[in-house]
Amino acid sequence: VVRPDSGDPATIVTQVIEILLEQFKEDVTETPTGHRLLPEYIRVIQGDGVDWESIPQILESLDKKKIAADNIGFGSGGSLLQKLNRDTFKCAFKCAEIIVNGQARDVFKDPITDK
- 19-72 per-position pLDDT tens digit: 999 999 999 999 999 999 999 999 999 988 788 888 999 999 999 999 999 999
Question: CB burial class (10 A; 0-12, 13-18, 19+) of residue 112?
Answer: exposed
Give the pLDDT of residue 27: 98
- Strands 72-74, 44-46: pairing is parallel
Give the whole-angstrom CA distance, residue 83 versus residue 13. Answer: 21
Amino acid at 27: D
pLDDT digits (tens, 9 = 90+) for 88-106: 666 666 778 889 999 999 9
